[in-house]
A = this chain, B = another copy of it.
Amino acid sequence: MSLTANNLPQHPPTDPAAVPEPGPQARSRPEPERLARAALSRLGEPGDATLGRWLARLDALDVVRAIRGDAPAEQLGVDSARLAAFRARAVDLDPVADLERVRAVGGRFIIPGDTEWPSQLDDLGEGRPTGLWVLGTGSLRLLALRSVAVVGARACTAYGAHVAGDLAAQLAERGWVVVSGGAYGIDAAAHRGALAVGGPTVGVLACGVDVAYPRGNTALIRRIAEQGLLVSELPPGEHPTRFRFVLRNRVIAALTRGTVVVEAALRSGALSTARRARDLNRHTMGVPGPVTSELSAGVHALIRSGAAAVVTDAAEVAELIGAIGEDLAPQRSGPVLPRDLLEPEAARVLEAVPATAEGAPVERLARQSGLPPDEVLQRLYELGSLGHVERHGAHWRLVRRR
């Protein structure tokens, strides 16, 4: 299908002000802005700077108009040569089908302005994703509020896998959401560690959220979607490339409060995530290891250069990111979403949480709220992000106000 097909959003030709404001995510017919961004997400590679510059000045719909030739490129101030390149790539574009395809597997496409959009991605500037394809339950924005990336080598050692799993489990037990890349090695160990203690975890993929890559992690990736979220800039069906892995790392770095590198050889991909995190003024941390291990050499180099702090357990990670957290997190200045603005399910779970010091386990909260335990847990993490509740061992309790 070509760009002139009817399923591309039609813009009122004379009045750009008539473009609908980005609203809450549509359940039925996608708004033109969402449709336009879905189209651009397939047209441009992640982090495309040209596209980013255009989108910084124009609505997505105007950019699509320029690509379609409905508006003269010069008048929009966009580079006509680059425009031609986009136009050439625009064969077979069908954003409506893409949106339907992701919805068919239970996913969605979120864009800036949506309630679920994590506003910290704005720190990426012109490299901000056009939109994010998301699969799973729970709000990406809320999960990302108290999130930390745990990344590292694919071909990790037993030591690295053990440390990553342990660290992720401890972070999840402290109410932190572990974000990683869904790859073999450290990534998989981190996701598994969080899942093992019932914590949600976010996998940021370099392929479509409906593509299980790497193949060997199929079951793990499915579990992440069930208990947490899969996130990608790439539309359904897309496969990873070396370039896409590197650009995916910037999303992991921007989404989280800090990045922990567990094992990384010199010149490894995990180090690029760490450097991105550093550039974005996120906390960058490294777990040391034996100096006799090449897989710790990259981490040690990062630490030696002053680019990363040494962390040896979850308490140390929480101490670092929590310090900034006190400023960023909603607890201090009052919750971002007050109780009466909570979604009905979250409000029901919150009502079930006791004010006692010992709290209650998920099962009891599920019985009392009449919601399935999986959803209760998801909501508890959201409520934790908002400063309403906190985890205490296997129990959850209300946060006492100062």
Interface of A with B (CB < 8 Å)?
A: 159, 162-163, 287-292, 296-297, 300, 303-304, 309-313, 316
Q: A287-B291, A291-B287 are in contact. Are A304 and B297 (CB under 8 A)?
A: no
Collect the chain B residues with CB atoms within 8 Å of residue A312's CB: 291, 297, 300, 304
Nearest B residue (CB) for A166: B292
Distance in Å: Cβ of A180 to nearest Cβ of chain B: 18
| A300 partner residues in chain B, CB cutoff 8 A | 288, 310, 312
Residues from chain B with a CB closer than 8 A to the CB of A313 are 291
Secondary structure dominating the interface of A: mixed
Q: Which residues of B contact A290 (CB under 8 A)?
A: 159, 163, 288-290
Contacts of A311 in B (CB 8 A): 304
Nearest Cβ on chain B to A153's Cβ, whole angstroms: 15
Say how far A255's CB is from chain B's closest CB, in angstroms: 25
Report copies per complex.
2
How far apart are the CA atoms of A303 and B292 in the complex, in Å?
A: 18
Contacts of A287 in B (CB 8 A): 291
Contact status B310-A303, CB under 8 Å? yes
In the complex, what distance in Å separates the CA atom of A303 from the CA atom of B300?
12
List B contacts of A292 (CB < 8 A): 159, 162-163
* Of listed A287, A290, A300, residue having the most chain B CB within 10 A: A290
Report 13 cross-chain contacts, Cβ distance below 8 Å, ordered by A residue.
A159-B292, A163-B290, A288-B290, A288-B296, A288-B300, A288-B303, A289-B289, A289-B291, A291-B312, A297-B312, A300-B312, A303-B310, A304-B316
Distance between A284 CB and nearest chain B CB, rounded to angstroms: 14
Return A310 CB to nearest CB of chain B, in Å. 5
Distance (whole angstroms) from the CB of A260 to the closest CB of chain B: 11
Contact B316 A310 (CB under 8 A): no
Cβ distance A88 to chain B, nearest Cβ, rounded Å: 50
Apart from A288-B289, A304-B310: 7 A-B pairs, beta carbons within 8 A: A163-B290, A163-B291, A288-B288, A288-B303, A297-B312, A303-B303, A304-B312
Among A163, A289, A297, A311: residue with most chain B CB under 10 A: A289
CA distance A316 to B312 in the complex (A): 22
Measured in the bound complex, the distance between the Cα atoms of B291 and A291 in whole Å is 12
Q: Which residue of B lies closest to A312 (CB)?
A: B291
> Which residue of chain B is the closest to A319 with respect to CB atoms?
B304
**Measured between C-beta atoms, what is the minimum distance from A297 to chain B in Å?**
7
For A296, what are the chain B residues with a Cβ–Cβ distance below 8 Å?
288
User: Taking CB as reference atom, which chain B residue is nearest A296?
Assistant: B288
**How far apart are the CA atoms of A287 and B300 in the complex, in Å?**
10
Interface centre among A162, A287, A297, A312 (most CB of B within 10 A): A312
